[in-house]
Structure 1
Amino acid sequence: MTEAAASALPPEDRAQARRTLAVAGTAHALHDGYTDLIYVLLPLWQGEFGLGYGMLAALRGLYSGMMAVFQLPAGRLAERVDGRIVLAGGTALAAAGYALAGLTGGLIGLCAALAISGAGSGTQHPLASAAVSRAYGASARGPLGTYNFTGDLGKAAIPALASLLLTLMPWREAVWLLATLGVAVAATVLLLMPPMARSGPARSPHRQGGRGHGGFWLLFVIGVLDNGVRTGVLTFLPFLLTAKGASLPTVGMALALVFLGGAAGKFACGWLGARVGVLRTVLATEGGTAACILGVLALPLPALFALLPVLGVMLNGTSSVLYGTVPELTPPDRVERAFALFYTGTIGSGAISPVAYGMLGDQVGAPWATAATAIVALAILPLAFALAPHLTEGRERHV
């Protein structure tokens, strides 16, 4: 399907587009893998530095917070400097942060290391997404879904590699090796990524009739709510499974099924959105999310296992459609900034929403709080209808 998207480009641009997608996907895999690598290291840091659960959660939040904060500055910097240089520098900075973590002997140094690495990772989402968008122009929706999927590959591969390394060596040496991998990816970006032009090509989708600005903010709200639903459901799912009699290994297997479905959803729904339209795809994924959440609450454990991969597809599928729509609602010279805004909102929602849903769960219980996430998913449907006239497909129906 990536080949089909590339075939829509002029012949001289096809190889460059494929190379851009390959390098951007590699960077995405590394940075998302670095983000989830923390989960593998937290128990080791707890034992070595004597940290409580609150401080461990704060370390994870520090990395995500710095990543969110630096998305906008990265997007603005890329408007003045070749984004390839900014992305390569951010990747090297993320690797340097983990290398520093391997050198630190105390909590303050560990916090500084994670802050540095998180800041470096803040460059990846807006710049790599914009690079793929510019490379494929009006055919970018499917390739952006592929790019989105590569992040899930990194989330699976790098923590797994770290777990293997930790059986062979102390955690500090393992982290240094993974930092070396980051330096190699930074060099790959610098050497192989085509220059990221700061103005869109003629084939890129443009805003029309002044509709793009309002459309972008509708898209932004949908993205914030969608990510909040996803993180809210995942917060309560282990407790719901346990209440149905699932053991700890069974809960782990159930989450793996959700994540596998989520990776498939990210890959498939970007292409589905390109074929059947954003509105229909969002209606299907958000309506399906609400139905699957109700199924999680109602079904017994054996039947629930068959539903979990579908739940993953629905929870994650919308994101690829939304990411692929950002360039359509943005002036070509502001794509990096638009992606930075969008990712800042969705990452921030992923950090705040579990807390909000958790407080609701304390008041009404996990099942009712989970049902609330289904209501929020359904609330996205009218927003999707409001967004449709701002999109190319919606405008064409009104001509």
Structure 2
Amino acid sequence: MPDLGAALPFVVALVAVLVVVGVVALVVRATRRSPRARAAADEAVAEAAEALRRLDDAVDDLDVAFEAVDALDAPDAPTDLRRGRTAAHRARDRGFTDLWALDDRSAVPARRRDQARRIGRDLDTSRARIDALQSRLDEWAADSRLPAALRDAARVRRDGLLEATGDPDPLLGALRRRFDASDWIDAQRAADAAASAISDADAALRDAETDPTPSVLRRATAALRRAERNGRAVEDVHRMALQAAENADAELAAARDELDAAIAIASARPAECTPSADEMLRAAARELETAATAAVHRPREAIATVARVRETRDRALGAAVNARQRLEAARAALPGTLACARAALAAADARDDLPPIADRLQLARARRELAAARAATDAAEALANARAAWHAVPGALD
């Protein structure tokens, strides 16, 4: 028979060790999830986001430098330069994806902190590679490009840009005659920004007459890129306003019928709808009628209102509609929602000031969702992506 008395101290010691291990594990677990750990994780995420901002700026500057020395598509540009630029773009894209993953605040804070620090280090390493690539580009350009020829090429790009974009005043005049300021103010801002950018480019090109150095040529190139972007924005707003004016009446009429049908469903089957569905739908109907009274002069606003009330309708009805009805509703709502997402992105892209990194993350997310909406073959999936894109653009729904 075993001697239980002799084994008792060993059992007691083993239990004590297990208790201590359990307590230590609980303490470590609590520490890794404590408010201090969460604050450290948030700080690490913010630092990683700033590293991404620096990388994003560096990639944009690199593109300007490549264009300034005619190396974007030049057949004589060395392979290592082209590959380095491609790698820089991929690193930036990967950085945005990695930062989105850090949005998950349900993750263990200590793990989220460590992941953010790793991402930040990787982003800084990529930026250092861009600095080295920039130096390599400058060396190649000094050996392979004549400064005067690059200055003349920039002047040719400037003249070609003005010829391609033309005078924005006729487009702005057409918008002013037909629509309220809310539907053309984005075009006016873009036109003013384009004119300012052309003025900056001209000043840089004048400086390049006596000082055709890389920094001066990059100034001219950056200004021309801003002018091109804003010139496109003027054309985009003009086109979207005319399309909205053409479609507003039909969209408003269709949305009115859809809301009437939705109110009938909510009244007949309230248990299957979202709480307060009837109130939500009637408020949406009033909003729609307000937009209809101003649609002639505010067609873009009317299209946006239709897209919003359709989203309210879908949210209010919930499970009260079947799969076929949801698909039909998605097909009706998709074109207008896509138009709203594109318009919001166009307005954001026309900004001349560099947005903060939080806005850049949102805009990158919006572009990704818009691309997914265009690629989707299922209308309901495409609509969900289009709505996500629209919602992601900072200030789009204010």
| TM-score in same-fold range (> 0.5) | no
State TM-score, norm by structure 2. Answer: 0.27
Higher relative contact order (CA 8 A, sep 6+): 1
